Structures are given as C-alpha cells and as structure tokens.
Amino acid sequence: MKIIDPKVYHKMPEGILEGDEVKHYKKYLKDVKNLYKYEDEELNDSGTIMYEVHSYGKGDEDKKGNLFWGLTVMNPVYIKDECNMTRGHFHEDLNCAEFYFGLQGEGLLLLMNKDGEMWAEKISKGSLHHIDGELAHRIINTGNEVLKVGACWPTVSGHDYKSIEDKEFPYRVFNNNGEIQLVAR
Ligand code: F6R
Ligand code: ZN
C-alpha cells in the first residue's frame, strides 16, 4: 500500500486552484464588452482582465458521472457603474445541476428559467448555491474587491451561451456609489 500526495490543492483561504492538470482561461474586457450597456471603442483596451476560470476534471469528459471542480475569479471592474459579470449560460444538458460557493468578496448569482424569469442569490464567503440543471446562471461582482466563486459540475454539462445571447437576463446590475441596483433592460 502506498500513500500519495494529492494532485491538486484548492487552497480555500487563499482561493487558489493549482496543479499541473488544472486548466485556466482569462476573459479580457475586449472579449466580453458586448455584455455591457455602455458601448465604446475604449472598451477594446486589451489589458483589462474581467475574470479568470480555473477548472480541474478527471477521466473521460464524455462519461456520465464525471465531475469538474472549478474556481472563477472576478475583478472589481465597473463599466460606467455596471458590475463585472460572467457571460452566463445554460448547460447544454439540462439534467446537469451545479454547485457554486462563495470564497471571497461580494456578489450576486443571477438565475433564469427557460421562460426568462430571473431572480438572484447573494454570494459571500461561505455561501452555497445549488443551481438546478434547467437554470441559466451568471455571476456578478457587486463589491470593491476580487470575488472568488468555487464550483462543481458534471463534465458532460456543456455550455450553451447562444441561448443567453438570443434572450438575455432581463436585468442589468449596477453599483451606484455602493447601492446595488437591478435595472430592467
Ligand atoms: C461551469 C460554470 C462556471 C462558469 C464560469 C464562467 O458550468 O458555470 O465554471 O463557466 O463561472 O462563466 P461563463 O462560462 O458563463 O462565462
Ligand atoms: Zn455552469
């Protein structure tokens, strides 16, 4: 019998997911500028990182039952008071639920059903959020510090971004001098 070191550490206090097999991508403002109400050439500024996603999964991604473990890191960036948001998606397989959990910072989890009805849950350190497989989900950083949200979801979930592009979440989220406002589109 042997005892081996874990392959990955989720350093909860530091909010870091690291290991050789951890995948990682960054979304720059220029990649996601279409999400925001304010449109201007200046948003093409390539240097601004809006959010980063780290994920780790084991085994065949097409095999039902396998899981991803992830971490989304969202910077406190505002586009004319509109809060930083993820693209938001439905899972392609609507049977696939997901857990989110707050690790650092303050935010909102926007949830939307197929009829376009939306509601939100507050995210903060220690908050746990079950996302039904049939719900679209988007993370919003409403605070002035980095928001870190952990996640676990089936590898077979897939991501349907098109449905959100076609029918957006009905409310935008703004922070006006510390007051969080949900504004209908
Ligand atoms: C996975 C999941 C998260 C998001 C991440 C970025 O199913 O929900 O890992 O992928 O928070 O959000 P999107 O993908 O909407 O840009
Ligand atoms: Zn998801």
Going from the N-terminus, what domains does the chain have, and what CATH number goes with each?
9-184 (2.60.120.10)
> What pLDDT was estimated at residue 155?
98
> What pLDDT was estimated at residue 15?
81
Is the CB–ligand 1 distance for residue 98 below 6 Å? yes
Instruction: For residues 127 and 164, give the distance between their C-alpha atoms in angstroms, rounded to a whole number.
Output: 25
CB atoms within 10 A of CB 144: 11
Q: How many CA atoms lie within 13 A of 177 on its CB side?
A: 0
Please state the atom number of ligand 1 nearest to the C-alpha of residue 91: 7
> What pLDDT was estimated at residue 28?
97
Please state the atom number of ligand 1 nearest to the C-alpha of residue 151: 9
> What pLDDT was estimated at residue 44?
87
> What pLDDT was estimated at residue 39?
86
The partner residues of 153 in beta bridges, in order of sequence, read 68
- For the question of whether the overall pTM of this predicted structure is more than 0.85, the answer is yes
Nearest CA to ligand 1 atom 2: 151
Read off the amino acid at residue 160. D
> What pLDDT was estimated at residue 11?
78
> What pLDDT was estimated at residue 13?
72
Is the CB–ligand 1 distance for residue 30 below 6 Å? no
Which of 93, 159, 163, 169 has the most ligand 1 atoms within 8 A of CB, as the residue to mutate?
A: 159
Over the stretch 71-83, which tens digit does the pLDDT of each residue have?
Answer: 999 999 999 999 9
> What pLDDT was estimated at residue 102?
94
Please state the atom number of ligand 1 nearest to the C-alpha of residue 89: 15
> What pLDDT was estimated at residue 40?
86
> What pLDDT was estimated at residue 139?
98
Cα(40) to ligand 1 centroid in Å equals 26
The list of the chain residues with pLDDT below 70 reads none
Cα(157) to ligand 2 centroid in Å equals 8
Instruction: For residues 138 and 126, give the distance between their C-alpha atoms in angstroms, rounded to a whole number.
Output: 18
Read off the amino acid at residue 146. V
> What pLDDT was estimated at residue 95?
98
Which of 34, 86, 135 has the most ligand 1 atoms within 8 A of CB, as the residue to mutate?
A: 86
> What pLDDT was estimated at residue 46?
72
> What pLDDT was estimated at residue 26?
98
